[in-house]
Amino acid sequence: MEKAAFLDDLQQRLASLIEGTPAADLQRNLKALLSQQFSQLELASREEFDTQVRVLARTREKLQELERRLAELESQRG
């Protein structure tokens, strides 16, 4: 059995075990609390993060090119 299928099966079994118990209420309350706390944080989505990584890479390339051109101009001058 592959890992993902095993974990899904385990999660389903555990969820069915606690479904009618006070633990289910605790789980729902904890999930709501965590959702509320995460919504208050200024987190970026994976897509936003990846976009910023690409922007930073392009900016770094431009900076390196400008540094190379500056060094070239300085060597021509001196």
Shared domain for 35 and 55, answered yes or no, is: no
Check residue 24 and give its pLDDT. Answer: 76
Shared domain for 10 and 25, answered yes or no, is: yes
User: What Rg do the C-alpha atoms of the chain give, in angstroms?
Assistant: 26
Check residue 51 and give its pLDDT. Answer: 98
Check residue 52 and give its pLDDT. Answer: 97
Q: Which domain holds residue 5?
A: 1-43
Q: If you search the block for the tokens 């200024």, which residue do you land on?
A: 42
User: Which residues does the chain have with pLDDT short of 50?
Assistant: none
Shared domain for 39 and 69, answered yes or no, is: no
Shared domain for 24 and 48, answered yes or no, is: no
Shared domain for 36 and 48, answered yes or no, is: no
Vertex 30 angle, CA 29 and 34, to 5°: 120
